[in-house]
């Protein structure tokens, strides 16, 4: 036991160490259960509420705190893997997720259900930041295409299929079985972490423990999501909503400012301050926020008109198609264009879904397919583009920042727009339509912002130099300074700068 908790390298390796597909299976088992549950629990709320004695507002708060734990876990993961061996931590995270799922499945009262869901959320993000970058960097370059496709499907395919699975378990009438399956998948992940075990040194042993950043991240996530979840039974202008949300957002902004000012940050804020990563992060945030809101609003339409949850299958199909397209374009210069195209598809999908609020099944099916295509084409490619714009050793930190910002944007926007849909308009359909148009408008603003950043920076599509990047060399994509083209234009138009002044 003392050997396991020391920083001395362990010579033991698992029998499947170095097996690519075993490592892929482990990552999929780590990422998918919580993401599926997040989308599948909504249809099961009535059954869960009765079984664990939680009101609808209590379940919304539970979901919000689980999402807060997921977002906070991304930052905590960087701190822990910087100072402790990552593979040993991964085994611990998988064990925590498994036990949390068992606790949730056995829950008969609110407290264990709350604890189990929060631990599931935190353990999932801890596993994501610890395992995913290692999968990208530890295997030959030829494997990276498959890794990108697997991550796309593992994250967004799981979310896409969640509503269908939730509907299926409503028919079965056994919500606990869903959590037992999550526990079984967690046990598979834990087993594979041992079978594929190969000890890793800490990422940056000299990094000091950053209590300020962890404090800001924890208070920011918890307060912001507490306020957002309170919308379930309070008005938007009520103190219990606005004060925590304002406090949370202030703490998260303070976290970014603090990270930009410290000498050795958990997240490379200063290094990200140029065109490509800022545009990619903005794209991921707007796509995540708009798409999660659209799915939540669409679920209101499905419930209101008693439409089968099977209408969400095309979303999963769209995610599969874009994962394949992402893989086909992965080694080319077209990945940034794919990410932007996905955001544009989401804008069009939002406009289409605004017309489906009357329960038109054809429009709903087309809309769910558009959601799968748009999300699959935008968020994961945007995440990789951001990673390619910095040295590969920074990948865990970049993933942590992007996932935290994307998660906060997505999981806060959805309850706000759902609250709008439920409180605005003469009829439920009118309220949902208003919320959907707001989501589409938000996505449109995001597309215009990303386009402006790219054009103002003078970025041109180039084939990424992935071999040197993976080996620890320079960034795979050359990113111009922020607003570089505009600043060059101003200098060229300045008479003094042009040499024709006094």
Same domain, 364 and 428: yes
Q: Of 482, 478, 139, 485, which is closest to residue 333 (Cα–Cα)?
A: 478
* Cα separation, 199 vs 385, whole angstroms: 29
**Residue 481 — very low, low, confident or very high, per pLDDT cuts 50/70/90?**
very high
Q: Work out the average pLDDT over 66-91.
A: 94
Same domain, 371 and 461: yes
Sequence-separated contacts (24+) of 46-49 with Cβ below 8 Å: 47/170, 47/173, 47/175, 48/113, 48/175
pLDDT in tens, 143-154: 999 999 988 887
Establish how many alpha carbons lie within 13 A of residue 145's alpha carbon, considering only the half-sphere containing its beta carbon: 10
Same domain, 245 and 304: no
Q: Is the pLDDT of residue 486 over 50?
A: yes
Percentage, residues of the chain above pLDDT 90: 69
Of 242-246, 312-316, 430-434, which range is least confident?
A: 312-316
Q: Work out the average pLDDT over 99-111.
A: 96
Whichever domain contains 54, its CATH number is: 1.20.1250.20
**Residue 324 — very low, low, confident or very high, per pLDDT cuts 50/70/90?**
very high
Same domain, 228 and 293: no
Pick from 175, 205, 235: which residue ends a domain?
Answer: 205
Q: Is residue 97 part of a domain?
A: yes
Same domain, 233 and 118: no
Q: Is the pLDDT of residue 161 over 90?
A: no
Burial of 95 (0-12, 13-18, 19+ CB in 10 A): middle
Q: Work out the average pLDDT over 266-289.
A: 92
CA dihedral 253, 255, 260, 261 (to 10 degrees): 120
Of 167-171, 202-206, 454-458, which range is least confident?
A: 202-206
Give the pLDDT of residue 257: 94
Q: Of 489, 490, 469, which is closest to residue 479 (Cα–Cα)?
A: 469
Q: Is the pLDDT of residue 262 over 90?
A: no
Residue 274 pairs in a beta bridge with 481
Same domain, 141 and 159: yes
State residue 13 phi and psi, 5-degree precision. Answer: -125, 150
Please give the full DSSP string across 81-108, using - where no structure is assigned.
Answer: HHHS-HHHHHHHHHHHHHHHHHHHHH--
Q: Residue 125 contacts by C-beta under 8 Å, 6 or more apart in sequence?
A: 69, 70, 71, 72, 73, 74, 77, 403
pLDDT in tens, 13-23: 899 998 999 99
Q: Is residue 275 part of a domain?
A: yes
Structure tokens at 485: 């083209």
Contact 255, 113 (CB under 8 A): no
- Residue 393: count other Cβ atoms within 10 Å of its Cβ: 13
Q: Is the pLDDT of residue 402 over 60?
A: yes
**pLDDT: which is higher, 473 or 96:** 96
Q: Is residue 105 part of a domain?
A: yes
**Residue 12 — very low, low, confident or very high, per pLDDT cuts 50/70/90?**
confident
Pick from 158, 183, 205: which residue ends a domain?
Answer: 205
Angle at 293 between CA 290 and CA 296, to 5 degrees: 150
Same domain, 230 and 336: no
Contact 75, 400 (CB under 8 A): yes
Same domain, 172 and 273: no
Q: Is residue 92 part of a domain?
A: yes
- Most confident of the following: 354-358, 440-444, 496-500: 440-444
Q: Is residue 498 part of a domain?
A: no
- Residue 10: count other Cβ atoms within 10 Å of its Cβ: 15
Q: Work out the average pLDDT over 361-365.
A: 93
* Cα separation, 468 vs 488, whole angstroms: 30
Q: Work out the average pLDDT over 433-452.
A: 97
Q: Work out the average pLDDT over 150-167.
A: 83
Pick from 245, 264, 283: which residue ends a domain?
Answer: 264
Give the pLDDT of residue 223: 97
The parent domain of residue 74 ranges over 17-205
Give the pLDDT of residue 494: 58
Give the pLDDT of residue 497: 43
Percentage, residues of the chain above pLDDT 70: 95
Q: Is the pLDDT of residue 265 over 60?
A: yes
Same domain, 477 and 410: yes
Give the pLDDT of residue 173: 83
Q: Of 37, 36, 314, which is closest to residue 154 (Cα–Cα)?
A: 36
Q: Work out the average pLDDT over 98-118.
A: 97
Give the pLDDT of residue 390: 92
Give the pLDDT of residue 495: 55
Helical residues (DSSP H) of 85-234, grouped into ranges: 86-106, 110-137, 144-152, 158-172, 175-195, 211-229
Helix, strand or coil, per DSSP, at residue 13: strand
* Cα separation, 463 vs 471, whole angstroms: 17
Give the pLDDT of residue 502: 37
Question: What's the mean pLDDT when you consider all of the chain?
Answer: 90
Same domain, 47 and 193: yes
Q: Work out the average pLDDT over 369-375.
A: 94
pLDDT in tens, 490-501: 666 655 444 434
**Residue 245 — very low, low, confident or very high, per pLDDT cuts 50/70/90?**
very high
Q: Is residue 165 part of a domain?
A: yes
Helical residues (DSSP H) of 265-334, grouped into ranges: 275-304, 313-329
Give the pLDDT of residue 170: 85
Q: Work out the average pLDDT over 451-465.
A: 95
Q: Is residue 6 part of a domain?
A: no
Please give the full DSSP string across 360-404, using - where no structure is assigned.
Answer: -HHHHHHHHHHHHHHHHHHHHHHHHHHHHTS-GGGHHHHHHHHHH
pLDDT in tens, 120-141: 999 999 999 999 888 999 899 9
Give the pLDDT of residue 204: 79
Q: Work out the average pLDDT over 395-399.
A: 91
Return the exposure string of 413-438: e unless at least 16 CB atoms fall within 10 Å of the residue's CB, then b: bbbbbbbbbeeebeebbebbbbbbbb
**Residue 308 — very low, low, confident or very high, per pLDDT cuts 50/70/90?**
confident
Run of H or E including 461: none
Same domain, 213 and 253: yes
Q: Is residue 8 part of a domain?
A: no
Number of H helices, E strands in the chain: 19, 0
Establish how many alpha carbons lie within 13 A of residue 335's alpha carbon, considering only the half-sphere containing its beta carbon: 32
Give the pLDDT of residue 8: 67
Q: Is the pLDDT of residue 156 over 80?
A: no
**Residue 298 — very low, low, confident or very high, per pLDDT cuts 50/70/90?**
very high
Alpha-carbon distance values, 390 to 10, 106, 393, 450, 475 (Å): 31, 45, 8, 19, 5
Same domain, 312 and 250: no
Q: Residue 78 contacts by C-beta under 8 Å, 6 or more apart in sequence?
A: 129, 203, 266, 267, 396, 397, 400
Number of domains in the chain: 3
Give the pLDDT of residue 1: 46
Residue 13 pairs in a beta bridge with 198
Q: Is the pLDDT of residue 30 over 70?
A: yes
Contact 354, 298 (CB under 8 A): no
């Amino acid at each position: 036991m003392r050997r396991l908790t020391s920083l001395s390298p362990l010579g033991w390796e698992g029998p499947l160490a170095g097996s690519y597909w075993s490592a892929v299976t482990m990552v999929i088992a780590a990422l998918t259960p919580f993401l599926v549950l997040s989308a599948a629990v909504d249809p099961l709320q009535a059954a869960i509420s009765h079984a664990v004695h939680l009101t609808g507002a209590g379940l919304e708060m539970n979901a919000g705190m689980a999402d807060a734990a997921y977002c906070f876990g991304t930052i905590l993961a960087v701190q822990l893997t910087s100072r402790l061996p990552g593979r040993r931590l991964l085994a611990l995270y998988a064990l925590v997720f498994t036990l949390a799922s068992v606790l949730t499945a056995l829950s008969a009262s609110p407290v264990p259900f709350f604890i189990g869901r929060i631990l599931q959320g935190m353990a999932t993000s801890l596993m994501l930041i610890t395992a995913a970058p290692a999968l990208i960097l530890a295997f030959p370059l030829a494997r990276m295409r498959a890794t990108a496709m697997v991550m796309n499907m593992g994250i967004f395919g799981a979310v896409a299929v969640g509503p269908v699975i939730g509907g299926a378990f409503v028919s079965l009438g056994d919500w606990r079985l869903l959590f037992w399956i999550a526990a079984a998948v967690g046990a598979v992940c834990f087993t594979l972490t041992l079978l594929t075990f190969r000890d890793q040194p800490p990422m940056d042993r000299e990094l000091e423990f950053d209590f300020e950043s962890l404090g800001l991240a924890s208070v920011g996530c918890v307060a912001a999501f507490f306020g957002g979840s309170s919308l379930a039974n309070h008005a938007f202008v009520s103190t219990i909503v606005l004060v925590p949300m304002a406090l949370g957002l202030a703490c998260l902004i303070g976290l970014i400012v603090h990270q930009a000012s410290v000498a050795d940050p958990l997240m490379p804020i200063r290094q990200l301050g140029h065109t490509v990563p800022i545009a990619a992060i903005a794209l991921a945030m707007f796509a995540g926020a708009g798409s999660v809101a659209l799915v939540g609003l669409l679920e209101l339409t499905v419930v209101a008109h008693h439409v089968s949850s099977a209408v969400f299958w095309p979303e999963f199909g769209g995610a599969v198609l874009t994962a394949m397209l992402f893989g086909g374009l992965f080694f080319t210069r077209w990945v940034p264009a794919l990410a932007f195209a996905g955001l544009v598809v989401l804008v069009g999908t939002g406009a289409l879904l605004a017309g489906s609020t009357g329960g038109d099944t054809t429009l709903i099916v087309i809309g769910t397919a558009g959601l799968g295509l748009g999300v699959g084409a935008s968020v994961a490619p945007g995440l990789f583009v951001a990673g390619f714009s910095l040295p590969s050793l920074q990948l865990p930190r970049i993933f942590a920042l992007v996932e935290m910002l994307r998660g906060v944007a997505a999981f806060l926007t959805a309850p706000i727009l759902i609250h709008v849909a439920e409180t605005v308009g003469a009829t439920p359909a009118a309220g949902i339509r208003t919320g959907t148009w707001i989501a589409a408008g938000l996505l449109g603003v995001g597309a215009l912002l990303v386009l402006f950043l790219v054009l103002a920076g003078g970025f041109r599509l180039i084939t990424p130099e992935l071999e040197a990047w993976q080996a620890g060399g320079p960034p795979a994509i050359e990113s111009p300074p922020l607003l570089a083209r505009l600043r060059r234009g101003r200098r060229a138009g300045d008479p003094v700068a042009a040499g024709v002044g006094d």
